[in-house]
Structures are given as structure tokens and as C-alpha cells.
Structure 1
Amino acid sequence: MLTKETKEVLVTAFALFSLFFGAGNLILPPLLGNKSGELWWLVALGFCASAVLIPIMGIMAHAKLQGTIFDFGKKVSPTFSLIYSLLIYAISISLPSPRTAAVTHEMAIQPFFDSPPLLTSIVYFSLVFVFVINRSKILNILGKLLTPAIILILFLIIGTALFSYDFAFGDTVFQNPFSDGILEGYQTFDAIGAVVVGGVIIISINLKKKEATYEEKKVLIRRSGWLAGLSLFLIYAGLIVTGALMHGEFNADISRTALLSGISTKTLGGTANLFLSILVSLACFTTAVGIVTGTADFIKYRFHDSHAVYLTTAILGCILGVVMGQFNVGYIIAVALPALMFIYPITIVLILLNIVPDKLASEKVFRAVVITTIIFSIPDFLGSIGFTEALSNIQKIIPLSGYSLGWVLPAGVVFVIANLLHKNNPKTTPAS
């Protein structure tokens, strides 16, 4: 028999996994593996570093803070934290939310119906709006049923591929497999998701365990976080190696959604592929509703709980979804890259600063490291929008800039220097 504590950990871990596990994430690992060849394991390590390890560290930070997204940046300044929070929600409602409509069209509509993506997007976000303003409990019921079903199908796909194909791999197309895996992991939006959904988990735990101490909740969140992270790692790594094993089965220019559908058809047959398409579409829908609802809730809170503001935000979020959701998944992923190259390094740094001991993360350390990260992320951001040649000289100067990770070493060096200065300045005290 499971103890009460173990059941609580499992329930919380399942909730965390469900919040992280967006259907859009499913389409990224197979194509990554398909292109990685014999270096699939190196690509998988990079992908899981940014798509699993950093997000779970975000949950660890939430376990320590036990607050909201606003608390992540407040040591820099309340103004910075508000701007950062608004940016996170703006990106979420403009990119990953519409991507769910695009995935739904490509996986569940396009193979069976000759209808334009704009029509799918309009119908899709009209339904999203209905659910957002009604806050239906049907979504919670669907979520509890959908996630186990998708996980079961995925493990069947991965297991079938592992036992059906020889471990023979093609050549990799990546020049820098590990860093390319890291950058592709950005596209899961899971680090951003950790900052956002961690707050949802905190609220849920506070409502269910009103008598629990800070330490009890901290232990529960940490254990659940690592368990959810292990599950994500197994699925991501499994899908990457599956894509790598089946490198010769598909055309080199196949799309992400088509590859996932093709892999499921070859491993489980056409009926299973149809079932997977339906489940992925429903999971996409719950993700979109969650993003629009979360964004509307945040804006509503900033405007003194105004229902009119909530309604207006929901309408704008769904209109944005229609506009962006009519494009194909590959285009949305390409458009998302510049935004991610800028906001992801800041998010990673805020997560790491919030999990180190307070004596190493004073307000001055926060400000110095975050400002440095922003400055050294600018070349990577500009490079992502086509200024690669103009930045070639800068990339030679900044370590790791050629891998689009030019912010890493400067942020680390400034963290050390700021702490040394802080240690030698007795007038400075750590922020609580």
C-alpha cells in the first residue's frame, strides 16, 4: 500500500507533468533525432538540458519561493519583474498558444479534410474562447484521461521502434550537436512554462494543504518535480532515439507533424495513428485554454480583478491565436526563435539565481547577472534575425557566441565577481 505522502507526491508529479506536457513538444524530438544520426545521444543531452533540467530547476525555485511568476524577478526590481512577467505572457499567448492550432490542423484535420488552416484556426479559437469564459471542468476531466493515454501510446511507439529496428544510424546534419539540441529545447517553452505553471501548483497545494508547513510543501514540490522531470526525460530521449533509428524511412524534408504521424503509423498502424492525432489535438486544446486563461487571469489581477479586462484579454488572445494559428508549424517555430533567443537566457538565469543560497543571490548580484545576461543575449538575438555576418567579429570575441550561447560565460563570471564584491562589502546584506 502506498503511504499518504507517496500518493501526494505522485498526484503532484502527475499534475506537473500534465502542465509541462504540451502536445507541441511531441513534434520536436522525433525530427531532432531523425537529423542527429549516430550523435543522437549528444543531441538528446542538449535537448533535455534546456527542455527538462532547466524547467525542473524552475520548479525547485518555486519550491523555495512558494509565490508567483512575479517573485522570480523582484530582486532585480518590481518594475523589471512586471515587464518580464508581461513579456512571458505576451510570448505565450502569441506563439505556443497558436502553435497548438497549427499542430491540430496538420495532424488531425489536414490528413482527412480539404479545409484551409484559417478555418481550423477560427473554429479552434472560438471554442477556446467559450471554454475560457466558462472555465469548464470538462478540461480537467479530459486532462486526467488524455495524458495517461498519450503517454501509453508514446511508450508503445518507442518500445516498438527499439525492438523492431537495428541500432544503425545515419550521419548527423548538425555541426554542433549538443548546442543545437539546447537551442531546439528552447522551442518546448518548458523553462517559461516552469515559471508560469509552478505558480499554479503552489496555489493548488496551498488550497489542499492549508495546515502544511513551508518545509513540508517544499519537500513535496521538489520530489514531485524530479519525478515529473524523469518522465519527461524518458519520453524526450525515447522519441529522439526513435527518430534516429528510423532515419531512412522518410524524406529528408518531412515536416515535424508528418514525421510524428509517420512514425506512429509504421510502429502501431493507421488506427493508432488516428487515435494519437485525436488525443494530441485535444491535448493541444487544453494547452491553449490554459495559456489564454492564465494570461487573462494575470492581466485581470493587475487591473483590480476587473472582469471586463479579463474578457478583453481573452478576446485579444483568441484573435492573436487565429492570426498566428493559420500558419504552418514550421513557420511559427521559425518566428518564435528570436523571441526565445532573448527571453530564454533571462529566464534560465532567474531560475538559477532563485535556487542558489540567498547569501549568494543578493539584490545586487541579481541585478548584475541579469543585466549582463540581457547585454550578451543581444548578439544571439540579432543573429537569429539574420545579422550573422555583421556579428562575425563579435562572435570571435565572446566565448560560446558561435553556439548562440554567448551569455553563459559572462553571466557566470559576473556572478562570481559580484559575490566577491558583496563578500568584501560588510555594508551589503543579502536580500531575504
Structure 2
Amino acid sequence: MKEKLTVKQYLMVSTLLFGMFFGAGNLIFPPMAGKMAGTNVWITMVFFCVTAVVLPVMGVIAVAKSNGLKNLSARVDAKFAAIFTAAIYLSIGPALGIPRAGSVPFEMAIKPYLPEAFSGRLSLLIYTLVFFGVAYWLSLTPSKLVERMGKIITPALLILMVIMFAVSLIGGMPELGAPLKDSYQNHPSLTGFIDGYMTMDTIAALNFGLIVSMVIQEFNIKDEKRIVRTTIKAGSLSGLLLAVIYFILAYLGAASAGMFPETTNGAQILSRVSMHLLGKGGAILVAGIFTLACLTTSVGLITSSGKYFTTLSKRLSYRNWVTIWTLLSLVFANIGLDAILKYNITVLFIIYPLAIVLIVLALLDRFFESSALIYRSTVYLTLVISTVSSLAMKVEDGGLGIKIPFLYPLVSKLPLYDFQLVWVVPVLVVLAVTYGVKLVNTRFRKKVRV
């Protein structure tokens, strides 16, 4: 049994984790945030990385320390663990994350440059058939993920991105202008924090924690403490890589504001910058980056979903589950994504705060000692508040516009409601109170024993 990985193995695991995290949203959000932030881009991105890098890495570590997401969520209670874990895997997997990863590269980076006669549903079907065919093949053998993704696909993605960055920086970019939105001018730190929060990578982290632990064990590291230590090191390295790339992407967005004021999303920004410097080759470069980024994320989500649902049913093998999730994702990517997107966004905004609270509790569990009082009170309070606020989201923002009588008027008056962080202050208060109760009870029991 090995005690630690070699430097090469650490790099392979780190690039594998980076590849699973780095999808379409991670390419789109930073350039747009940079464009809006202008000269405030650096402070914006520091706080962007808190929620888009630090929290996801903490999520992977929390799952590794708890020996699986289900074990972590079971500290609340068994029913919550079953429902929450299934909701996590389904919502970020075949119900949205995987089909979106299959369709976004085509819609964002390929379709705009196709002749009108070839930009319809048939082209999308052909693209997604190839995309999900490759994802399916890679997902069938999770033991080879490091070899195929960590050694080949993710390094290829990084090489393409280095080319884009180098050409952009060498080609010369204009000076940064003033912020284009008041929120980036007046509250760049809070706005960056919210932008990073919206990547929702923390939910994906709860999925990927299982894969990272599995991959580390493939290197013959079996001791739980060593697995956790290895996860911390590999996660930190992948997080550092994510942060560096986010800063560069944001800079490109900020510098492009004067050149391409008409751009409305990160994909357009990257495409315009690349085409400006490389011509048609720039469009091909961006299409390749989007495709590889989304492919690695899809494989990670298919693999983690397949592994989890295999533990729930002995009737269906891992191969069966991978086939089911891949086929469903293919269908949704072509015909059903818009129909489920509205409802799934609401579900994601309900479970995202739960994921964050569980991660924080898991990492501080040596103080809380898996206290049922602390876990249940904070998690269920988060569930109530996030459900009320998520259902009330405006229809134009992807919500349902449902305002629950009595509860909505109370929740809407809480701090940070407008930033989808309404749960934070109440949960911190309840956490402090329940932790105090736990300390008092512990001291009382000690006195009774004496």
C-alpha cells in the first residue's frame, strides 16, 4: 500500500479534477464578469474565486472526509440523505448538467459560424451524437479516466487555452475601461462573490468527490486519512489552476469591452477576440475549447451518476446506468432541455444552499461531532428558506414566480434576499445558538458523571 502519490500522479489527478469542473459555464462567466467590471476586474475576481474555486474544492474534500455524499447527508437523517443525494445527482447530471454540456458548445461556438442551411436541428443531432458517443465510451471505464482525461483530453484543453491566451496577450489588448454596471462599480466584491456562486460548481463538487476518491484508490492508496490528504493536495492544485484561468479569462473580457461592446455573453467575447487575432482559425480554436471543456465535465457527471445509482439497485449494472443517463442526456439536449430548464433551475437554487451548509458542517465536524441538533436545525432551516426564495424567483429570471403565503413576506425581508443569499444570516444565527446548546449539554453531562 502506497503512502503518497508521485508528482506526476498528483498532476494527473489534479488535471482530471480540473477538467471535470471546467465546463461551459466556467468559460462563459469570467469574461462577461470581466467586461462588466472593467478596472474593478481584479477585486471582482478575487471574490469570484471564493465561491467558484474555494467552495468547490472544499466540497470535494468534504465528500472525501465523509466517505461519500450519502454518508455526509445521513448526518441529518436517512430520509434526507436518500432524497438529497438523488436530487444532487439528477439535477446536476442527466436532468440539466449533462444535456446542457452537450448542446452549449454547438449553440455557442459552432452554430453561429455554420451556413444557415446547416445550422438547424439535424446539425445539433449529428454533433450531440458524436459528443455523447465519445462521452459514453470514456465513461464506461472509470478506472481509465486518469489515463485518458488526466493525460490526454484535459492537457489538450489546456494547450488550446494557452494558445488563445498567448495570442491575445501578444497581439495586444486595449486598456481597461470603467465598469459598465453600477453593481461592479459600487460593490465589486459582493458582485464577484455572487457571480462565482452562480457557477454552481459546489453542487458538482459533491458529485466529483466520489470519483476523486476512487481514482486515488486506483493508485493503491487505501488508508482513509491518506486519501483525504491526497484529495486536499490535488484539489488545491486544481483550484489554483482554475483561479489562474479565471483571472486571465476575466482580463480578456475586461480588455475587450471597448473593442466589442455588442457582445452579450462570454462565448461571444472569446470568439470575437480569437477571430480578431486569428481569423477563422480563432473560431475553430474556441469551438475546440468549448467542446473539450464540456466533454470532460459530461464524463465526470455521467461517471459519478452511474457509480451512485449502481449502489442503489443491484438489478442494473454500472454500464446500464451509464447507457440510461447518456441516452436521456442526448434526448434532452436535442428536444427537451428548454422544457425542464425552468423547473430544474428552481431545484438547483433550493439544493445549492443545502450543499454549501453541508460542506461547511463537514469541514468543521470535529467541533460539532456530527451533532444531530446542529445538522438538522441548520439544514432544515436552509431548506425552508431556500425553497421559499427559489419558488418566488421571477419567471424572467428562470423561476416559477410562486410566492408562498405567510412565509414569503417573512423571507423576503431577510438580509441578502436580492442576492439569492437570504439563507446565510439566519443559518449563522441558528448555528451559533445550537452550538452553544451543544457545549452547555456536554458540560452538564460531564458534571453529572462526576
Contact 2:203 2:355 (C-alpha < 8 Å) held by counterparts:
yes
Cα offsets for 1:186-222 (capped at 9, x unmatched):
4433111111111101112123224x43332222111
Cα offsets for 1:238-278 (capped at 9, x unmatched):
11122011111223453432222112223454324313312
The answer as to 2:18 corresponding to 1:17 is yes
Residue 362 of structure 1 aligns with an amino acid whose one-letter code is: S
Q: Which residue is equivalent to 1:34? A: 35
Q: 1-side partners of 2:425 and 2:175: how far apart?
A: 37
Q: How does 1:106-185 map to 2 (within 5 A)?
A: 106=107, 107-114=109-116, 115-127=118-130, 130-131=133-134, 135=139, 141=148, 144-162=151-169, 164-175=172-183, 176-185=187-196
Q: 2-side partners of 1:428 and 1:289: how far apart?
A: 50
Q: Which residue is equivalent to 2:255? A: 245
Contact 1:94 1:324 (C-alpha < 8 Å) held by counterparts:
no
Residue 215 of structure 1 aligns with an amino acid whose one-letter code is: K
The 3 A distance-change label for structure 1 pair 181 and 337 is farther
The answer as to 2:379 corresponding to 1:370 is yes
Give the C-alpha shift of residue 392 in structure 1.
9.1
Contact 1:191 1:347 (C-alpha < 8 Å) held by counterparts:
yes
Identity across matched positions, percent? 26
Give the C-alpha shift of residue 233 in structure 1.
0.6
Give the C-alpha shift of residue 150 in structure 1.
2.5
Select which of 223, 227, 245 maps to 1:217. 227
Unaligned runs of 5+ in 1: none
Q: 1-side partners of 2:127 and 2:6: how far apart?
A: 40
Select which of 266, 276, 283 maps to 1:273. 283
Structure 2 residue matching 1:11: 3-state secondary structure: helix
Cα offsets for 1:103-140 (capped at 9, x unmatched):
22131244134334533443344445645665556986
The 3 A distance-change label for structure 1 pair 293 and 209 is closer
Q: Which residue is equivalent to 1:321? A: 333
Contact 1:303 1:309 (C-alpha < 8 Å) held by counterparts:
no
Give the C-alpha shift of residue 384 in structure 1.
2.4
Structure 2 residue matching 1:206: 3-state secondary structure: helix
Q: How does 1:221-236 map to 2 (within 5 A)?
A: 221-236=231-246
The 3 A distance-change label for structure 1 pair 160 and 428 is farther
Greater Cα shift, 363-372 or 261-270: 261-270
Q: 1-side partners of 2:294 and 2:158: how far apart?
A: 15
Q: Which residue is equivalent to 1:425? A: 441
Give the C-alpha shift of residue 366 in structure 1.
0.8
TM-score by length of 2: 0.82
The answer as to 2:421 corresponding to 1:405 is yes
Residue 301 of structure 1 aligns with an amino acid whose one-letter code is: T
Q: 2-side partners of 1:419 and 1:359: how far apart?
A: 9
Select which of 347, 351, 363 maps to 2:355. 347
Select which of 359, 367, 375 maps to 1:359. 367
Contact 1:118 1:322 (C-alpha < 8 Å) held by counterparts:
yes
Q: How does 1:383-402 map to 2 (within 5 A)?
A: 383-386=392-395, 387=401, 394=410, 397-402=413-418
Contact 2:20 2:298 (C-alpha < 8 Å) held by counterparts:
no
TM-score by length of 1: 0.85
The answer as to 2:57 corresponding to 1:56 is yes
Greater Cα shift, 406-415 or 263-272: 263-272
Structure 2 residue matching 1:306: 3-state secondary structure: coil
Q: Which residue is equivalent to 1:208? A: 219
Contact 1:143 1:283 (C-alpha < 8 Å) held by counterparts:
no
Give the C-alpha shift of residue 166 in structure 1.
4.2
Q: 2-side partners of 1:324 and 1:208: how far apart?
A: 40
Contact 2:388 2:403 (C-alpha < 8 Å) held by counterparts:
no
Q: Which residue is equivalent to 2:430? A: 414
Structure 2 residue matching 1:169: 3-state secondary structure: coil
The 3 A distance-change label for structure 1 pair 317 and 375 is same
Cα offsets for 1:311-369 (capped at 9, x unmatched):
445433432232245x6xxx998876433322211111111111113332422211111
Greater Cα shift, 348-357 or 4-13: 4-13
Q: 1-side partners of 2:81 and 2:176: how far apart?
A: 49
Q: Which residue is equivalent to 1:90? A: 90
Q: Which residue is equivalent to 1:306? A: 316
Q: 2-side partners of 1:206 and 1:389: how far apart?
A: 47
Q: 1-side partners of 2:190 and 2:343: how far apart?
A: 20
The 3 A distance-change label for structure 1 pair 143 and 154 is same
Contact 2:389 2:408 (C-alpha < 8 Å) held by counterparts:
no
Q: 1-side partners of 2:299 and 2:195: how far apart?
A: 24
Q: 2-side partners of 1:74 and 1:54: how far apart?
A: 21
Cα offsets for 1:9-65 (capped at 9, x unmatched):
223222221221224421221112112222222331332122101001112213422
Q: Which residue is equivalent to 2:273? A: 263
Report how many aligned residue pairs link the two structures: 421
Cα RMSD (Å) = 3.2
Structure 2 residue matching 1:105: 3-state secondary structure: helix
Q: 1-side partners of 2:286 and 2:256: how far apart?
A: 19
Contact 1:33 1:241 (C-alpha < 8 Å) held by counterparts:
yes
Structure 2 residue matching 1:384: 3-state secondary structure: coil
The 3 A distance-change label for structure 1 pair 82 and 289 is same
Cα offsets for 1:399-421 (capped at 9, x unmatched):
22232211111111111111111
Q: Which residue is equivalent to 1:191? A: 202
The 3 A distance-change label for structure 1 pair 366 and 170 is same
Contact 1:33 1:244 (C-alpha < 8 Å) held by counterparts:
yes
Q: 1-side partners of 2:237 and 2:299: how far apart?
A: 25
Q: 2-side partners of 1:252 and 1:428: how far apart?
A: 66
Cα offsets for 1:55-89 (capped at 9, x unmatched):
01112213422x22212211001211111111112
Q: 2-side partners of 1:285 and 1:124: how far apart?
A: 12
